[in-house]
Amino acid sequence: MISSAKNRSSVGAVSIAVVFLLTTLVLLSLQVFFLESPVGAQVLLYSLLFILLTTALVYTLAKRTELRQRADYTRLRESETRFRALVESALDWSWEVDAEGVYTYCSPQCEALLDYRPDELIGKTPFDLMPAGEALRVRSLFADIVREKREINALVNTNLHKSGCEVVLETSGTPIISESGGLIGYRGVDRDVTARMRTEMALRDSEQRLRDAQCFAKLGHWELDLRTKKSLWSDEVFRILGVSRRMTPGPDTLRKFMNPADWPAYANCITQVQENQVEHHAVYRIRREDGEERWIECRARPFATSNGEVHRLLGVIQDITERKQAEDEKERMQRELQQAHKMEALGELSGGIAHDFNNLLGIIIGYTGLAGNAARSMGADQVCDYLSHVENAGARAKKLVSQLLAFSRSDASNYQVLQPLSLIGEDVDMLRSTLPTSIQVQLDAEQDLPELLVDPVQLQQVILNLGVNARDAMHGVGRLTIRLRTTSCVGAECSACHQLVNGEWLELSVSDSGSGISAEVRERLFDPFFTTKPVGQGTGMGLALVDRIVHGHNGHILVATDEGAGVNMRLLFPPHKLVCTKPGEELDNERESFSAGRESVKAHGERVLVVDDESELTEYLGEILHLSGFEVVVSNSSRHALELFLNDPQGFDLLISDQTMPELSGVQLCERLRSVRPDLPVILCSGFSEVYAQSMQHTDFSFMSKPVDAEALIALAVRLATPMSGG
């Protein structure tokens, strides 16, 4: 190979020398031929020698030039071989395109990337290998690059493999510029980045899922370098705090939004983390830029250097506002449920006590009256005086029993649609006459108030109870303000039943200038029998009764008080236009009433069946009826009374029966007797006034509440039984 190259080199140089020699000889011959005078031999000899020397010089120069070109050519071929080997062994696909983007050269790697041979791509453009949408995008970008003669820098584009699957390439290239400055084309490489893009996409998807999970959980992560005080917050931390990402993250920024009362505990936690290398856990409140207050739970873990110095904190924060609200709501509902259970149990207990106490009270009052009559007939004035004290105590006990019955929801109510201002005005006037003049009573009421569905007697009782409580709290001196207005509530909690209070209400507030109520007392404010008054000065039923009356009207109570700042008792009633159902079934509560001073009435031997499971009460009723001229048959069992009656249905002119009895109730007994004797007069007695509601289903039943008034009972019995005897 080398010798042939040398031969070719020699032939080239010799050819040049021979051509030069022949040319010069021809020129010399022509010159000699055309000269007019002959040329001497010596001149010819010198000319030939010059030509030979010149030819030798030309040969030498031609040879040197040829050798140099050959060496350059060899180096070029070797460089081209190395470049081609490098290009063809590289993983990237090398290419050249013209200014229109048409391939003018493709390295063999295109077959490994797209399964196309180089000859298949020559004459095509990269856009022919792309999906339609991608081709439009890349063509537009390539047009901008060509127009500005810019380099192609890592342009990611999607291509179609010959099999149809997608291959993601990263294209880089440099422009080829002509000597005149025109763009000839581009030379560059394509690299397969499909796996990398899939990895990056999976990473982005994973990061997005993490962000979505953090957003859903309202959980953000943060880092704090304790040496540089530089902090890193995730996007969710900024969102939770409600601050812009332009803010510099860190403890100082956090402190601006944290509730000042929570900062000392938080700072102490950070100190404990640094000093004791313990995990940090804190709950605090923040107020966002929009003014909303949120609850935040923060956890952090310390990271220490080899010498044990804590240099970094890594942690998370979570918005737990909804959880706190749910916990508060659960706690409120538990209080509400406990209060409802407690009040229900106390109501049943109170009702049961009232029923039994009514029987005992009837015996006490009844026999006291009989004893008083006997003492007066014997002229024992001192005994009469003693018995009058017993009667007074009985009257007080009777009033307490009525409160117990009202508390147990056993009293029927007379609900009426009334204008509250005139009603409250009358009650306030009555309250002024009741309270000492050292207490100023003020009424502040709005005009054009909506009507109210209310029992006026119960409302009067509420105002009196609150007025008396305020009098005691102010020790008889101060200012009592009663306000009547419409109001709206959102998310307030009833101080009695602990339910949430929302909507529009008619508010009756009673506020005093007393000493207020402590937190301990406030928790038991509406408990029955709870009182802060000395023994003998209060029963503890006043506010419990207020609670029952207000809630019986579908209302609520809000108490605002602090020790030393008085009490504002806000009673909320639903306006009549907003009431869908009545708080309780309205009953006609008109009862038989008789004047205590009316003339005595006497029976004429009419036969009366008296039934009550309380034997002493039965004996008392039998005694007063016997003294009034009746023939009395008593029974302490409803079953026994039924047997007595069935043995002689026409032998009785009147039935007087208790309602609450074992075996058969009073109503059941009456119905059984009426099935045999439809015209039998009946008097039902009970401390529970819902018996009256039941008796209303039987228009010819009569009702008397316990403890019964002796004269009223006798008068009613005479009126009912006498027509029978006359018949």
Per-residue pLDDT tens for 652-689?
999 999 888 888 888 889 889 989 998 899 998 876 54
Is a pLDDT exceeding 80 seen at residue 72? no
Give per-residue pLDDT as tens, 324-376: 877 777 777 777 666 666 656 555 555 556 666 666 766 777 777 777 777 77
Q: Match 């956090």 to its residue by tokens.
A: 254
Report the C-alpha gap between 454 and 130 in whole angstroms.
82
What is the predicted pLDDT for the residue at 421? 80
Quick one: pLDDT at residue 101?
A: 93
Q: What pLDDT score does 39 carry?
A: 58
Q: Which residue has the higher pLDDT, 100 or 704?
A: 100
Paired tokens of 61 = 């120069």
Backbone angles phi, psi at 513, to 5 degrees: -105, 30
Can you read off the two tokens belonging to residue 508? 């009756």
For CA atoms 646, 647, 653, 659, give the dihedral sign: negative
In tens, the pLDDT along 557-579 reads 888 876 667 888 899 999 875 43
Of the ranges 61-70, 175-184, 349-358, 696-705, which is most confident? 175-184
The SS3 assignment for 482 reads: strand
- The closest of 226, 223, 225, 227 to 237, measured between CA atoms, is 223
More confident residue, 8 or 523: 523
Please state, in angstroms and rounded to a whole number, the distance separating the CA atoms of residues 435 and 470: 10
The Cα 645–Cα 633 span in angstroms is 10
pLDDT over threshold 50, residue 7: no
Cβ-Cβ contacts under 8 Å for 167 (sequence gap 6 or more): 113, 114, 158, 159, 160, 161, 192, 194
At residue 297, the 3 state secondary structure works out as strand
Tell me: pLDDT of 580 over 80. Answer: no
pLDDT for residue 130 is more than 80: yes
pLDDT in tens, 476-505: 888 888 899 999 988 788 888 778 888 889
**Residue 126 banded pLDDT, cuts 50, 70, 90:** very high
583-592 confidence digits (pLDDT tens)? 333 323 333 3
Residue found by looking up tokens 């020698």 in the block = 49
Residues linked to residue 160 through DSSP beta bridges, in sequence order:
166
The pLDDT of 141-152, averaged and rounded, is: 93
Whole-number Å distance between alpha carbons of 116 and 94: 14
In a 13 Å sphere around the CA of 217, the CA atoms on its Cβ side amount to 12
* pLDDT tens per residue across span 587-643: 233 333 333 333 456 888 899 999 998 888 888 888 889 888 999 999 999 999 999
Determine contact, residues 151/175, Cβ cutoff 8 Å: yes
Neighbouring CB atoms inside 10 A of 168's CB total 17
How high does pLDDT run on average in the chain? 78
Cα–Cα distances in angstroms (integers) from residue 354 to residues 347, 350, 360, 612, in the given order = 10, 6, 10, 16
Q: What is the pTM of this model?
A: 0.36
Per-residue pLDDT at 169: 94
Give the separation between CA 568 and CA 586, rounded to whole angstroms: 31
Q: What sign for the dihedral angle of Cα 272, 275, 279, 285?
A: positive
Backbone angles phi, psi at 383, to 5 degrees: -65, -40
Q: CA 122 to CA 108: how far, in whole Å?
A: 12
Percent of the chain with pLDDT over 90: 17
Two structure tokens written together for 37: 């005078």
Copy the structure tokens of residue 516: 């207020």
Question: What burial letters (b/e) apply to 302-328, b meaning 16+ CB within 10 Å?
Answer: beeeeeeebeebebbbbbbbeebeeee
- Identify the sign of the CA torsion 24, 30, 34, 39: positive
Residue written as token pair 């039984």: 721
Give the count of alpha carbons within 13 A of 65, CB side only: 10
Neighbours of 677 (CB within 10 A): 14
